[in-house]
Structure 1
Amino acid sequence: MTVRRSDCDCVVILHNPKAGRWPADKKVRRLVSALNERGYSVRVSQNLGEAVELANREFEAGRLKCLIGAGGDGTAGELINRVVPGLPLSFFPTGTSNLVASYFGFSRKPAKAVETLTHGEPIAIDAEMANGRLFLVMLSCGFDAAAVEMVHRRRMEGHRGGRGGFATFIGPICHLIGAYPFPEMSVEVWNGRDGSDGISAHPQANPSATIAAKWVFVFNVPRYGWGLPIAPEASATDGALDLCTYRGGGFWKGLWYTLTTQFQLHRRLRDFQHLRGRRFRVTAEAPVPYQLDGDPAGYLPVEVEVAPHRVHILVPKPVARRLASTAAGN
Structure 2
Amino acid sequence: VGAGGDGTLALLAGQLPQGTALIPMPMGTENLLARYYKYSREAEDVLATIRRGEAMKIDAGRANGRLFLVMVTAGFDAEVVRAMHLTRRGHINRLSYAGPLWRAIRRYAFPVINAEMENAAPVSSAKLVGADTNGTAAKSGASSTTQSIRTSGCWMMAFNLPCYAASLPIEPEANGNDGQLDLINLTYGSVIAGLRYLMALPGGRHLKRSDVFRFQATKIWWSSLSRVPYQIDGDYAGRLPVQIEVLPDHVTLLRPAS
In the superposition, the TM-score normalised over structure 2's length comes to 0.89
**AA partner of residue 105 (structure 1):** K
* Larger Rg, first or second structure (1 or 2): 1
Secondary structure in 2 matching 1:81:
helix
**Equivalent in the alignment of 1:64:** none
Give the Å deviation of 1:99.
Answer: 0.9
Whole-angstrom CA distance in 1 between matches of 2:245 and 2:166: 24
Choose which of 76, 79, 104 in structure 2 pairs with 1:176: 104
- Residue 196 (structure 2) pairs with residue 256 (structure 1): yes
- Residue 82 (structure 2) pairs with residue 167 (structure 1): no
Choose which of 251, 262, 267 in structure 1 pairs with 2:207: 267
Aligned pairs for 1:295-314 within 5 A? 295-314=235-254
- Which piece of structure 1 moves more, 114-123 or 298-307? 114-123
Give the Å deviation of 1:261.
Answer: 1.6
> What are the superposed Cα offsets for residues 66-122 of structure 1, whole Å, 9 maximum, x if unpaired?
xx1111112101111110121111111110111121122210222222222222110
- Which piece of structure 1 moves more, 82-91 or 281-290? 82-91
More helix by share: 1
Paired-residue identity, %: 39
Secondary structure in 1 matching 2:204:
coil
Whole-angstrom CA distance in 1 between matches of 2:84 and 2:203: 27
Give the Å deviation of 1:225.
Answer: 1.1
- Which piece of structure 1 moves more, 71-80 or 134-143? 71-80
Q: Is the 8 A contact 1:107 1:113 kept in 2?
A: yes
Secondary structure in 1 matching 2:77:
helix
Q: Is the 8 A contact 1:191 1:199 kept in 2?
A: no
Structural RMSD (CA): 1.8
**Equivalent in the alignment of 2:136:** none
Higher relative contact order (CA 8 A, sep 6+): 2
Choose which of 121, 124, 129 in structure 1 pairs with 2:62: 129
Deviating above 6 A after TM superposition, structure 1's stretches of 4 or more consecutive aligned residues are 197-200
Choose which of 98, 104, 107 in structure 1 pairs with 2:31: 98
Q: Note the residue ranges of structure 2 that are not aligned, 5 or more in a row.
A: 126-142
Choose which of 228, 235, 239 in structure 1 pairs with 2:168: 228
Q: Note the residue ranges of structure 1 that are not aligned, 5 or more in a row.
A: 1-67, 319-330
Whole-angstrom CA distance in 2 between matches of 1:91 and 1:212: 35
How many residue pairs match? The answer is 241
Give the Å deviation of 1:178.
Answer: 2.0
Q: Is the 8 A contact 1:290 1:296 kept in 2?
A: yes
Secondary structure in 2 matching 1:209:
strand
Give the Å deviation of 1:268.
Answer: 1.4
